[in-house]
Structure 1
Amino acid sequence: MRTNFYFILLLAFCTACATQFPNRQTNSEAAAVKQVLAEQAVCWSKGDLECYMQGYWKSDSLLFIGSRGLTYGWQQTLDNYKSSYPDPATMGKLDFELKEVKELSPETMLVVGKWHLKREAAKGDLQGHFSVIFQKFEEGWRIIADHSS
């Protein structure tokens, strides 16, 4: 009888640990993904597109979906940004309003939110929505797909 009691107590403890650990891991991973986005906003706001692009997967398979349609590849995405935002005044100051950060698997996260560019009155502010998929690599979390409108 005493053995059954200890077994049930051990089982309850292990179950509690198993349900707690993924939440801590998910929270930690979500914080890491949010940090990438925060760093991107700082880079963008300083007018540094190469720094901003460090949040993306540096691969020809990177997918970006925007007003020009589909773009594949890190370099092509950077080139498009340079074409659309040729100077810091056009780039403005970027901030994100995150609506959802959701773990899809231990290696992938979905982030949905709003972006806002605060720019000089002559340029006018811009804003829209985005959804990005992050994948965890050895060097950290990187965006592998971005749909921005």
Structure 2
Amino acid sequence: MRKILVTVLCLIATNTFAQTPKDKQAILNVLENQRQEWNKGDVVAYMQGYAKSDSLLFVGKSGPTYGWQKTLDNYKRGYPDKSAMGYLSFGIKKVDFLGKDVAFVLGSWNVKRDKDELKGFFTLLFKKINGQWKIIVDHSS
């Protein structure tokens, strides 16, 4: 009886955090939408993948930035027009679910421009907010 109870509890715990392929695809769709909007030169539309919150955390080469608007302002300053934005591509290495509404994503990014190429890696924390997956932490290098 005890063995059956432990097995049932393990199955319940596993299912509590198990995500459907639909959740993983929803996260990948957010990233794909961001990529497409970036490549159109629309940084405001790109930012829709992030939680529109003062607690959004973006960590880049200049250190941490808190807040959706401040992050947008930094993007606009660093990439003032379409030519500066170039062509963005992602390489997604892993998507791991840390809970029923939190996911970790590891990937690479590449921006090709007419005169140069930028590249690096990122780690993201996604949270399901009001039924939508949004980035709450972005560490890009």
Change beyond 3 A, Cα 1:22–1:84: same
Are 1:128 and 2:127 matched, yes or no? Answer: no
Q: Please say which structure displays the higher CA radius of gyration.
A: 1
Residue 25 of structure 1: CA displacement?
Answer: 3.6
User: Aligned-pair distance for 1:28?
Assistant: 1.4
**How many angstroms does 1:128 deviate by?**
0.2
1:108 maps to 102
CA contact (8 A) 1:26 1:103 kept: no
CA pair 74-137 structure 1, distance change in 2 beyond 3 A: same
Instruction: Tell me if the contact between 2:19 and 2:97 (Cα under 8 Å) persists in the aligned partners.
Output: no
Corresponding position of 2:140 = 148
Residue 32 of structure 1 deviates from its aligned partner by: 0.4
Q: Which amino acid aligns with 2:41?
A: G
Deviant stretches of 4+, over 2 Å: 21-26
SS in 1 for 2:34: helix
- For residues 18-37 of structure 1, the aligned pairs below 5 Å read 25-37=19-31
Q: CA deviation at 1:110?
A: 0.4
2:20 match: secondary structure:
helix
**Unmatched segments (≥5 aa) in structure 2:** 1-7
What amino acid sits opposite 2:135 in the alignment? I
For the residue of structure 2 that corresponds to 1:51, the secondary structure is helix
User: C-alpha separation between the residues in 2 aligned to 1:82 and 1:38?
Assistant: 20
Cα distance in structure 2, aligned partners of 1:136 and 1:142: 6
Match of 1:99 in 2: 93
Q: Which amino acid aligns with 1:93?
A: Y
Using the alignment, how far apart are the partners of 2:88 and 2:124 within structure 1? 16
Percent sequence identity over matched residues? 48
2:81 maps to amino acid = D
- State whether residues 17 and 97 of structure 2, in contact with CA within 8 Å, keep that contact through their aligned partners in structure 1: no
Match of 2:60 in 1: 66
Provide the C-alpha distance between the structure 2 equivalents of 1:34 and 1:26, rounded to a whole number of angstroms.
13
Tell me the TM-score normalized by structure 2.
0.87
- CA RMSD, aligned part only? 2.3
Query: What letter matches 2:69 in structure 1?
Result: Q
Q: How many positions carry a matched residue from both structures? A: 135
2:17 and 2:99 in contact (8 A); partners too = no
Unmatched runs of 5 consecutive residues or more in structure 1 = 1-13
